[in-house]
A and B are shown apart, each in its own frame.
Chain A
Amino acid sequence: MLIADSICKNFASFQALDHVSFEIMKGDIVGFLGKNGAGKTTLMRILTSFLSASSGRVLIDGDDINKDSLAIRKKIGYLPETPPLYANMTVKHYLKFSAQIKDVAINRQRYQLDKVLEECQLQTVQQKIIGTLSKGYKQRVGIAQAIIHEPKLLILDEPSSGLDPIQIRHVLTLIKNQGEQRTVLLSTHTLSEIEQIAQRVLMIKSGRIVVDDSLHGLLTNTNTQPHQPRTLEQIFLSHHQEPGQQPHANKPATVEPLLAHE
């Protein structure tokens, strides 16, 4: 579904991405981890063609992003870190506008609009001005615009950032449901979210991919700690320890699964 081949991105003398390569299969939900400034957002912006790579190649569903960016953008739904909303529009008007510019056929726009309003539980606020909505609702409107054109690949940049636990639960359930229909690449700082919904994990550090494995494979890998199941938090910390810092391999995970009862 998505092939990233040796992507580099330089901003003046700073190298944000250093030969990043990975592949995502159709139907995967992939968790994308990394510290602030590691290169997550830059990579996502390249995958969505908002930024161009300094070198390297991106293929999405067989199409080269450098050759046919417009065709690729039809296949991608993207939620940036800050939901891209027009505060003076109503939810319905904004989603209708999204459908229009994302090539949803005129005779399907109404159907798609009703569908995403229902999927994202936005029916009760569809006539409200976006600027007056809570952060949780704004995030859901952001996800609704990303899926209104039925993209094959959904790219979400920290979709649960700044939400309260109830709102996070709603958003994660929504993403999990989306994973049944399309490929999802999701970045977050909350490791428990990845543990609950992702099948694969990509970890980036200083612009390089340092982990690319299935979640199951990562958590059951006993090479380093025999007979000791690991958590994603321990794996993340082991890759981000400063020299001289004590390892946290046995530290238990502290984040409660939010979807445990679902």
Chain B
Amino acid sequence: MNKIIALTKKELHGYFSSAIAYIILISMLSVFNIFFYMIISQNGEASLRDVFQAMEFMLVFFIPLLTMKVFSEEKSNGTMEFLLTAPLSYSMIVIGKYLSLLTFYSILIGMTTSYYLIIAYFGNPDPLSTFSGYLGIWLEGAFFIAIGLLVSSWTGNQIVAAMVSYIVLFFLYFANSFNQTVSGASEEFLLQLSTRTHLENFAVGIITPQDIVYYVMGTILCLILTRFSIDNRLWQ
């Protein structure tokens, strides 16, 4: 456990010792704030439901920027050799890196909790549906990060890692839009594959086991595949 914490701290230090972390935090918060202001002033409701859905769309753009260099940079700098020849298991490397990204993401999402305080000042929002929405957006970010981590483990090129992550995330996000072109089991499959289907429930205050399983299992699957990718040096 100490080694995982050491790796997580090293990663977080890496983000915050460069301008990238601050640029991402400030730009994402600015975009979230603009959407929050627009949606609340347009709807005139003390609810963050539509804000969560806007945040979900922004995550598709934001997460690949965060994850693209996680493994690709280690490979291009030669430090991957350092990690893989140290007495660290591959699972420790994957978990350490994943936790650092999740911490960074949690800080970002944590900063937006002020939205609830703002609408609570002007209205009477439902705290449970707000909690459910935040849980959904956090689970979705955790899933997207695991996808980005997996893609980053395939290549030594950050641009390639970002582009492939965009393709995967856009597909997952828009999967339910394709269901009109198919029917039967395929239609249901695409509907269930889409992240929008699952976040919609969280956003309106419905927490179902199916939605939680979707995010948790998706995240675990990606982390297992990342470990497999590292073990087999797939980028080589």
- A residues touching B (Cβ–Cβ < 8 Å)? 45, 48-51, 70-71, 73-74, 76, 78, 80, 82-89, 93, 97-98, 100-103, 106, 145
Contact = CB atoms under 8 A, between A and B. Distances in A.
Nearest to B231: A52
B14 A88 contact: yes
Nearest to A45: B81
A68 B45 CA distance: 61
SS of B interface (majority): helix
A145 B81 CA distance: 13
Complex A-B, nearest 10 residue pairs according to Cβ-Cβ distance, in ascending order? A84-B82, A100-B6, A73-B87, A82-B78, A48-B85, A74-B87, A84-B79, A88-B17, A80-B81, A78-B85
B79 A73 contact: no
A217 B1 CA distance: 49
B85 A106 contact: no
Nearest to B3: A101
A102 B6 contact: no
A88 B18 contact: yes
A87 B81 CA distance: 15
A106 B1 CA distance: 13
Interface residues of B, number: 22
Contacts of B77: 84-87
B74 to A, nearest CB: 9
A48 B86 CA distance: 9
Contacts of A70: 87, 89
A50 B2 contact: no
B68 interface: no
Interface centre among B79, B86, B89 (most CB of A within 10 A): B86
Contacts of A97: 6, 10
Contact of A89 (B13, B83, B85, B87): B13
Given A70-B89, A88-B18, A101-B87, A145 B10 contact: no
Contacts of B233: 51
Contact of A102 (B10, B78, B86): B86
Given A74-B87, A145-B82, A86 B10 contact: yes
Given A84-B77, A88-B14, A73 B2 contact: no
B26 interface: no
Interface centre among A83, A84, A145 (most CB of B within 10 A): A84
B84 interface: yes
A2 to B, nearest CB: 15
B7 interface: yes
A11 to B, nearest CB: 9
Nearest to A142: B82
Nearest to A73: B87
Contacts of B83: 101
Given A49-B85, A76-B85, A101 B79 contact: no
A50 B84 contact: yes
B86 A73 contact: yes
Nearest to B233: A51
